[in-house]
Amino acid sequence: MPLYDYKCLACGNEFEALVLRQLDPPSCPACKSQKLEQLLSMFRVDSDHTRAATLKEGQARNAKVRRDYNMAQQAYEKEHRH
């Protein structure tokens, strides 16, 4: 699926759009203008190493959220026990 980066020449908003050949050209999500400049997009690298690193990062972030949730749950239960 081709994703392209655009800059709206009317309002300056930068955004990413999925563009299919058979559809109309994209419009700015902020102002609906079709006066766009296509920006140079960076390529995406996807490998087992990058996937594993991204997964590890996500798991670390989620571990903190889970830890904070569990602490809040314990504090709530301690306050509301009869």
How confident is the model over 1-55, as pLDDT tens digits?
578 899 999 999 999 988 877 667 789 999 999 999 999 876 666 678 888 888 8
| Residue type present at position 42 | M
CB 6 within 8 A of CB 17: yes
pLDDT at 70: 94
Domain map of the chain by residue range?
3-38, 46-82
Question: Cβ neighbours of residue 36 under 8 Å, at least 6 residues apart?
Answer: 6, 7, 8, 9, 25, 26, 27, 28
Q: For the chain, count helices (H), then strands (E).
A: 1, 3
CB 25 within 8 A of CB 2: no
